[in-house]
Amino acid sequence: MKIKTVILQLLRFHTVATRVATFSSLLNSLHLCLSSLI
């Protein structure tokens, strides 16, 4: 049971990390577009 909970926590952390990475990459691309416009 403990191993199962650890795996679930790791999966949850992985999904959150991928969401944060996608969001940061989107922000980076937006920043690049704005800086190129200015």
pLDDT tens digit sequence for 7-31: 999 999 999 999 999 999 999 999 9
Percent of the chain with pLDDT over 90: 92
Token output for 19: 């969401």
Q: How many helices (H) and strands (E) does the chain have?
A: 1, 0
Q: Where are the domains of the chain?
A: 1-37
Q: How far is CA 23 from CA 7, 15, 17, 32, 38, in A?
A: 24, 12, 10, 14, 23
Residue in this structure with the two tokens 């940061």, named with its chain if needed: 24
Please state the pTM of the whole predicted model.
0.63
Q: What is the pLDDT of residue 1?
A: 72
